[in-house]
Amino acid sequence: MNGQARFGARLAAAVADRGPLCVGIDPHRELLGAWGLTDDVDGLRRFTDAVVDALAGTVAVLKPQSAFYERHGSRGLLVLEDAVGRCRDAGALVLLDAKRGDIGSTMSGYAEVLTHGHPMQVDALTVSPYLGPDSLDPAVRTARVHGAGLFVLARTSNPDAAIFQSARLADGRTVAQAVVDQVGRWNTPDWLVGDPAPDPASYADLQGRWGGGTGSFGVVVGATLSELDVDLTGLRGPVLAPGLGAQGGTAADLVRLFGPGRAVVPTVSRDVLAAGPDRAALRASAERWAADLAR
């Protein structure tokens, strides 16, 4: 693992230090306009610089959406690459929201952003399992070798997600439940697979609210679901819960859905980003969410 603690351990330590909030970096066309910025690489860079300057030193996880950088071509990806490095240098974990999903060498190629020495090395990556569980094996192997993490789409809260995710398999489980069960099989407590024993002080939050330990492989479950219709008991890893703020999810929904002991990484994007371009306002908005989540 090249001397680096596994993602699950790094995530637990970041949550203990900074709280669980994850903020999405989503520079879509409408938001650039709302900030008074041009919809080009210059506007993209100004937006990204403001978010990174405001939040990378205080937020546990930053989640840039790859599509909004890719749409600007190679120069947009250079902005993303620079931002990823600056976020990590400031102590934030970087979760690249790219929802990659393919097979064989193609999936291995997508997973290269998890490797040490990659020019855009990130801490974790979102992936899609819908080409079958074996399709993600290259990403799982890469993550294990380099101490990185994956968040696998399981039970998302977009309106028609249930068409596929709630479909039943021959054994009676839903597709979403099969995804959760598969990810659970990938997880083993970090200190049983070669990591140093956890430091008691930095793991105080992990031992309490995070249920005594978490693996490096998690699932995506929307915070706006009316009810939790998957069993997370055997997951042994974190839950990425998007949908807070503009999409209607609240801190109370996290407790309602997941209870107080689950390792949940709540994600806010538009509700924080709407406070820009003023850096102080962005930071204050993130701090309000962090305080709400801490209650």
Structure tokens at 201: 């002080």
Distance CA 184, CA 188 (A): 8
**In DSSP terms, which residues pair with 244 in a beta bridge?**
249, 268
One of 86, 88, 99, 270 is an active-site residue; which one? Answer: 99
Distance CA 19, CA 23 (A): 12
Contact status, residue 130 vs residue 100, Cβ threshold 8 Å: no
3-class SS at 239? strand
**In DSSP terms, which residues pair with 239 in a beta bridge?**
219, 264
The owner of tokens 């069993």 is 231
Of residues 37, 15, 18, 14, the one with CA closest to residue 27? 37
Is 99 catalytic? The answer is yes
Tell me how many degrees the CA angle 105-111-116 measures, rounded to the nearest 5.
120
Structure tokens at 182: 């598969």
| Per-position DSSP letters for 43-95, written without gaps between them | HHHHHHHHHHHHHTTT-SEEEEBTHHHHTTHHHHHHHHHHHHHHHHHTT-EEE
Contact status, residue 237 vs residue 206, Cβ threshold 8 Å: no
Distance CA 112, CA 74 (A): 17
Measure CA of the first residue to CA of the last residue in the chain; give whole Å: 36
Where in the sequence numbering do the catalytic residues fall? 99
